[in-house]
Amino acid sequence: MEVPLSLSQPATSAPSNSGLKSMADYKVLKEIGEGSFSIVYHAVEKEGAQRDVAIKMCLKKQIIRDKRVKYVHREKSALALLSTGDNWHPSIVTLYATFQDAENLFFVLSYAKYHDLLHIILQQPDKHLNFNDSVYYSAMLLDALNHCHKLGVVHRDVKPENLLVKNDGRIMLTDFGSSMFIEEHEKEYTQNGRRASFVGTAQFVCPEMLTGGKLGTASDIWSFAVVIFQFLTGDHAFHDESEYLIFRRVQDILFKYPEGFNDLAKDLIDKILFIDPEKRLKYSEIIVHPFFENIDFSSLQSIEPPKIY
């Protein structure tokens, strides 16, 4: 029996010429990732451009059991919006197709050949990135976030693990399973007084997520600052033995810069990590901060990316 969750027309009722894809359209090469309700495969298209793709297969039963239905729908809506026509962005994962069978939902995504940035950080001799690479990846991330924000999407799970490295060394932001639409959130928040439930990752979460405050683009900017700290040090700014203790640190902005931490990065992070989202630097202010003095945000894609291997 088919589980009543739909990302597209049920495959069973789709006419054969509908253009709807199925697993038969792809040659699966290997498993490349696993989550609590999904498995990701590397595959290639059998026909046409024969692109490399990542197929995320989500188990419907598990999504329903974990009460993730709303989030899976949002992931699809956000990715579809960000993958359409002029909205497409080179630093954001592209959704090529969705389809389903009786047990699973499938997302066909642009493929990133290398690991995520957390793996890359851990592979460095000192287990952190050098200053120039940190500036480069931070600029690419900020540009991707700004693009999402302009389209009304807040990612809400910004972290190095969600930045995948493509074969040209450039990165793309992935995993929109925690994302929200600003307009929808503001309506629920203001009209219905409904607070967002916790999503994201403890070490990167913004204070307003913990206190039931209003979320917005500044929520991703908080995580962006925490990511810069991790790029440069290899450590989490907010680190402790339990999630509860991490949350307390976040709410007290309790963290320490290590000896020798770059002054420009410190100044930038200090101007972002405020409890009040209104006080945090905004995109237009961040791109002119001296941390990014060597970056031309109007031609980011023409910057030579760091060598990965």
> Which of 98, 174 has the CB closer to ligand ADE?
174
> Which of 110, 230 has the CB closer to ligand ADE?
110
136: its two tokens: 């480069």
- Count Cα neighbours of 268 within 13 Å in the Cβ-side half-sphere: 29
Closest Cα partner for 175 from 22, 33, 47? 33
- Give the C-alpha separation, 55 to 162, whole Å: 16
Supply the minimum distance, in Å, between the C-beta of residue 292 and ligand ADE.
27
Supply the minimum distance, in Å, between the C-beta of residue 78 and ligand ADE.
15
> Which of 137, 222 has the CB closer to ligand ADE?
137
- Give the C-alpha separation, 63 to 37, whole Å: 6
Query: Which residue has its beta carbon closest to ligand ADE?
Result: 54
> Which of 164, 228 has the CB closer to ligand ADE?
164
Residues forming the site for ligand ADE (CB under 6 A): 32-33, 40, 54, 93, 109-112, 164, 174
- Give the C-alpha separation, 161 to 119, whole Å: 8
- Give the C-alpha separation, 216 to 155, whole Å: 10
Give the residue carrying structure tokens 């290590």.
258
Q: What residues are annotated to the active site?
A: 157
Helix (H, G, I), strand (E, B) or coil at 113: coil
Supply the minimum distance, in Å, between the C-beta of residue 70 and ligand ADE.
21
Supply the minimum distance, in Å, between the C-beta of residue 39 and ligand ADE.
10
Give the residue carrying structure tokens 């359409």.
84
* Ramachandran angles phi, psi of 59, nearest 5°: -80, 115
Q: Please report the beta strands in 155-224, taking only residues with DSSP state E, as ranges in sequence order.
A: 163-165, 171-173, 180-181
Supply the minimum distance, in Å, between the C-beta of residue 59 and ligand ADE.
16
Beta-carbon contacts of 60 under 8 Å, excluding residues fewer than 6 positions away, are: 3, 5, 100, 103, 104, 105
Binding site for ATP: what residues are annotated?
Answer: 56
Do the strands 52-59 and 180-181 form a parallel or antiparallel pair, or are they unpaired?
A: unpaired
184: its two tokens: 């929808």
> Which of 96, 229 has the CB closer to ligand ADE?
96
Do the strands 153-154 and 95-100 form a parallel or antiparallel pair, or are they unpaired?
A: unpaired
Binding site: what residues are annotated?
Answer: 56
